[in-house]
Structure 1
Amino acid sequence: MEFTKMFLMNLGMLIAVAYLANVTFKYVLSRVSARVQYISSIVLTVFCGWICSVFGFSFDGQVVFDLRFVPLIIASLVYPCASSLVIIGVATGLALFVFGFNEASVAGFVNLSILGLLAAGVNYWMRKTDYRLIIKASVSILAINLVNVLNIAIFDDTPFYYYLTKAVPFTLPLGIALSYLIAFILRDFQLEQRRKSQIIQANRKLSKQKEQLQKAKLALEERAQQLMTASQYKSEFMATMSHELRTPLNSIINLAQMLAEQGKELDEEELKQYSSIIYASGQDLLQLINDILDLSKVEAGKMEITKDYTSVEELLQIMFMQFEVTARNKNLEFKLQHGKGVPHQLYSDSQRVQQILRNLLSNAFKFTHSGSITLEARPERLAEPGREGEWLVLSVIDTGIGISKSKQHSIFEAFQQADGSISRKYGGTGLGLSISRDLARLLGGFIRLESEEGSGSTFSLYLPLEEYNH
């Protein structure tokens, strides 16, 4: 009867400690690092072995039966590192010395140290083989139980023959049976933990997929908004373009018809005037077509860039000559400025640089009613990431209507102007700045804008000087 009580007490203690360990891991150690969790599990396993020793059962007043070796069996089935089992065995053996330093505690220390080494070997074997878990568990249970019996028979002070004949027939079957029972409980616990882990992982995966779907939804909504805006801009562009194309084309057709019908009745001055209007309208029409073709070439990657050395001074003079008459007709002051250190030559595509400056200057004269327009050249060193080095800056500075901060980005996009109705007041398709931006990129540079509504604008073309310097 006493033996049954001790057996059930050992079993109860193991189950109680296992439950407390589970609760501790679930509510306390789940928030700490994996390393702390691992060390804590070793400490709890050692404690399980020690608590079983506290409630050992004396068999016939000499043999002590307890389940101190069962935590080692469990550890051999779950730990990923064999050295941890050696630590558990030795630490559990050292814990026996709290009962005092005597032959029994020394024998217990030697026994558990040997069992720790055996459990480490079994653990290593299990990780290297592909047998089913039941076979691996059976090998661990039988090996540790048998060696435990032999160790007690050899190292304990109980008479060898007495122990083998009186104690082993009871303790060995019970130890094996109890080990299987604990292993079954552990297996059930592991399956439950695996299910919980799978549920947690599934929830995390679903949560992640939900976030991705939400981001995708926002991206689609943003893209839809962009497409709607682009469609609106293109509709405005088509309306503007039809007006811009129709105006010079109507002038050409009407004047050509008049010349055909009344050519003989017109004097020389009228013929000259009509011819000039036809020529100017043809030039406007050609410029519109060229802008559309240039934009198409850039977007299709067909725009050719031919770099060569060109005179910076000559480039500025050409621009001055082209817009000098326009400045005089609008009563605007047109100036050229040279900063210190401007190189004599630039290695770039002169034709495309002139095209960019023409677009910038055309806009400056279009939107400036009084004051001045300045074409400035200066060197500048930048330290921005991706733009480090020396640059030649060609700036067009005007005192015109300026551009609000909210519109400064959109005016560089194709089919857009600072105001959707601005083309009706000033004319133009809004392609010039978009083409200029793309050409600047092809030349290895970029365009910057500084402006305030009502205070004029400064468009600066940055062109790299590295190739010139080398």
Structure 2
Amino acid sequence: MNNDIGSSFAINLCILVTIAYLANLGYKYVLVVASGKIKYAVSLLLIFFSAYASMYFGFQLGEDVIFDLRFVPLIIAALSYRKPYTLVFVGVGIGLCRLLFGLNAASMAGCTNIIVLGVVAALLKWWFIRHRTGYIVQAAIFIVVINAINQLDVSLLGVIPFNFYIVHIAPGTLLMGVVLSTGFVFMFRDFQLERRRNQELKETNTLMMRQTEELHKAKIVLEERAKQLMLASQYKSEFLANMSHELRTPLNSIINLAQLISESGSSRESEPGKQTDNETVLYSEIIYKSGQELLQLINDILDLSKVEAGRLEIAAEEISICEIPDLVYLPFELLARRKGLKFEVHRDERLPKTIYTDGQRVQQILRNLLSNAFKFTSQGEVSLTMRKSEQSDLVQGEWIVFEVKDTGIGISEDKHHSIFEAFQQADGTISRKYGGTGLGLSISRDLARLLGGFIRMESKLGLGSTFSLFLPLK
């Protein structure tokens, strides 16, 4: 008889696996877009149908007694649903399915048994929720407890004599029930995990598509803003270039008139019998000096705007290296004597006689670097050294290096990067004490790039600075 019951249990398991597989396909291709309530209702109907199919194909002992795996759908429900009261409802529903096979003592006992199992499953679920028990532990406890109580209920409530059932039937059905329900539970778990993975993959794909769409929209917005900023920058640069050009014309006239007044006053003093207004000469000299400073500022702004607008042209030609020291030495030699500084120019004899570059822009860079060196040096010396690059410079190829070295105030390391930005100086007090706008190094850096080179700086606060202009020899 146990062999017949075992065969019936195996058939029950095959039926349950088939239903579970079909349910998985239905969920994947049909119910995946359904609402949560519809999925909940359909899942309950599948539980009841699985239990009914188990009883329909169960082993019938006599006319009334049926041995089957109807409690396995209850175990699956206990592991799937979160609410304990749902398990009581499942137990009642499966119990009513048992009554569909006839109203008799055996069917009433079977109905009562499965309802009791539903209540027990609900109590266990409530306990698991409170103690946050893992899936494996829950599955093991549900399988053992449900199978054990099922055997106990059948032996006490069923129509088969207690002693006969305990001795001849219960050992085989309990073992087969535990083994088969365990196999089905973990098989169903694989279905659940696959469904969850598919759902997570779908959600991930949806999220990635949404993010891709948002990134595309953001890219369009950024491109539009970049165009607007570029256009605004172009308008600004063109405005500065035009304004600088327009301002230079009247300013040159003011400077020339101030110079004429100053020279006229000086000549009147030298002529016997003629007097001049000393204040007029002094004021004219102030106007002349201020005009020169303003003209230099306008020229810097003009150069900066041309660089930003991409309109600064480089006129490369072959220039003599020997002429460069003379061109930059004379303007600063008088300033060095006035400040009591030592000023020297050194040239490496290994340098070639000529280089191919824009001589005017090279002189402009060197004048800016030397002007800063003299401005921030009150004692000591300033030097300009022209040499070929060496291995210690860590550069590849052949370069000519113009080193401007001073013994001035130096620059702290945290300001090394910012001083090359337009309108930036190492300290806010620098502008008030020494003057200047902070455009010289920014323009020099941009000009060096246009000439194919770069500027490197070494400086420590209080120990002076060294600015090196690297230009390619070839």
Of 53, 63, 66, the residue aligned with 1:64 is 66
User: Is the 8 Å Cα contact of residues 145 and 172 (structure 1) preserved in structure 2?
Assistant: yes
Aligned to 2:150: 148
Q: Deviations over 1:257-292 (max 9, x none)?
A: 899999xxxxxxxxxxxxxxxxxxxxxx9xxx9xxx
Letter in 1 for 2:104: N
User: Is the 8 Å Cα contact of residues 6 and 173 (structure 2) preserved in structure 1?
Assistant: no
Alignment of 1:257-268 (within 5 A): none
Write the distance in 1 (CA, Å) between the matches of 2:88 and 2:250.
96
Note if 1:49 corresponds to 2:72: no
Of 19, 22, 25, the residue aligned with 1:20 is 22
Write the distance in 2 (CA, Å) between the matches of 1:120 and 1:164.
27
Of 172, 175, 178, the residue aligned with 1:176 is 178
Structure 1 residues 260, 173: closer, same or farther in 2, change over 3 A? Answer: closer
Letter in 2 for 1:129: H
Aligned to 2:126: 124
Note if 1:103 corresponds to 2:124: no
TM-superposed CA distance for 1:184, in Å, is: 1.6
Q: Deviations over 1:71-106 (max 9, x none)?
A: 111111121111111111111112223223332332
User: Is the 8 Å Cα contact of residues 121 and 146 (structure 2) preserved in structure 1?
Assistant: yes
TM-superposed CA distance for 1:249, in Å, is: 4.1
Write the distance in 1 (CA, Å) between the matches of 2:256 and 2:189.
97
Structure 2 counterpart SS, 1:67: coil
Write the distance in 1 (CA, Å) between the matches of 2:44 and 2:140.
23
User: Is the 8 Å Cα contact of residues 96 and 109 (structure 1) preserved in structure 2?
Assistant: yes
Number of positions where the alignment pairs a residue of Structure 1 with one of Structure 2? 269
Aligned to 1:139: 141
User: Is the 8 Å Cα contact of residues 144 and 178 (structure 2) preserved in structure 1?
Assistant: yes
TM-superposed CA distance for 1:62, in Å, is: 6.2
Aligned to 1:158: 160
TM-superposed CA distance for 1:130, in Å, is: 4.7
Alignment root-mean-square deviation, CA: 3.3
Structure 1 residues 145, 13: closer, same or farther in 2, change over 3 A? Answer: same
Write the distance in 2 (CA, Å) between the matches of 1:134 and 1:239.
77
Note if 1:92 corresponds to 2:94: yes
Write the distance in 2 (CA, Å) between the matches of 1:106 and 1:4.
24
Of 157, 181, 190, the residue aligned with 1:188 is 190
Write the distance in 1 (CA, Å) between the matches of 2:177 and 2:7.
15
Structure 1 counterpart SS, 2:60: strand
User: Is the 8 Å Cα contact of residues 56 and 66 (structure 1) preserved in structure 2?
Assistant: yes
User: Is the 8 Å Cα contact of residues 50 and 96 (structure 1) preserved in structure 2?
Assistant: yes
User: Is the 8 Å Cα contact of residues 42 and 84 (structure 1) preserved in structure 2?
Assistant: no
Letter in 2 for 1:190: Q
Aligned to 1:115: 117
Alignment of 1:48-447 (within 5 A): 48-59=50-61, 63-246=65-248, 249=251
Structure 1 residues 257, 134: closer, same or farther in 2, change over 3 A? Answer: closer
Note if 1:3 corresponds to 2:9: no
User: Is the 8 Å Cα contact of residues 49 and 71 (structure 1) preserved in structure 2?
Assistant: yes
Q: Deviations over 1:194-240 (max 9, x none)?
A: 33234334333433443344344334423331232122111221133
Write the distance in 1 (CA, Å) between the matches of 2:64 and 2:108.
16
Letter in 2 for 1:174: M
Structure 2 counterpart SS, 1:99: coil
User: Is the 8 Å Cα contact of residues 115 and 147 (structure 1) preserved in structure 2?
Assistant: yes
Write the distance in 2 (CA, Å) between the matches of 1:174 and 1:79.
25
TM-superposed CA distance for 1:247, in Å, is: 5.7
Identity %: 47
TM-superposed CA distance for 1:248, in Å, is: 5.1
Structure 2 counterpart SS, 1:58: strand
User: Is the 8 Å Cα contact of residues 104 and 156 (structure 1) preserved in structure 2?
Assistant: yes
Write the distance in 1 (CA, Å) between the matches of 2:231 and 2:38.
56
Write the distance in 2 (CA, Å) between the matches of 1:229 and 1:239.
15
Deviating more after overlay: 196-205 vs 119-128: 196-205
Letter in 1 for 2:237: S
Aligned to 2:438: none
Q: Deviations over 1:117-151 (max 9, x none)?
A: 11111222222335543332121111111111122
Structure 1 counterpart SS, 2:160: coil
Write the distance in 2 (CA, Å) between the matches of 1:143 and 1:113.
14
Aligned to 1:457: none
Deviating more after overlay: 27-36 vs 221-230: 221-230
Q: Deviations over 1:337-382 (max 9, x none)?
A: xxxxxxxxxxxxxxxxxxxxxxxxxxxxxxxxxxxxxxxxxxxxxx
Structure 2 counterpart SS, 1:108: helix
Write the distance in 2 (CA, Å) between the matches of 1:176 and 1:257.
113
Structure 1 residues 260, 172: closer, same or farther in 2, change over 3 A? Answer: closer
TM-score normalised by structure 2 residue count: 0.50
Write the distance in 2 (CA, Å) between the matches of 1:114 and 1:12.
26
TM-score normalised by structure 1 residue count: 0.51
Structure 1 counterpart SS, 2:100: helix
TM-superposed CA distance for 1:58, in Å, is: 2.0
Deviating more after overlay: 194-203 vs 87-96: 194-203
Unaligned runs of 5+ in 1: 263-284, 290-470
Write the distance in 2 (CA, Å) between the matches of 1:261 and 1:177.
118
Write the distance in 2 (CA, Å) between the matches of 1:105 and 1:186.
28
Write the distance in 2 (CA, Å) between the matches of 1:81 and 1:247.
88
TM-superposed CA distance for 1:114, in Å, is: 0.9
User: Is the 8 Å Cα contact of residues 142 and 176 (structure 1) preserved in structure 2?
Assistant: yes
Structure 2 counterpart SS, 1:157: coil
Asked which structure has the greater CA Rg, the reply is: 2
TM-superposed CA distance for 1:64, in Å, is: 1.9
User: Is the 8 Å Cα contact of residues 94 and 109 (structure 1) preserved in structure 2?
Assistant: yes
Write the distance in 1 (CA, Å) between the matches of 2:241 and 2:60.
104
Aligned to 1:306: none
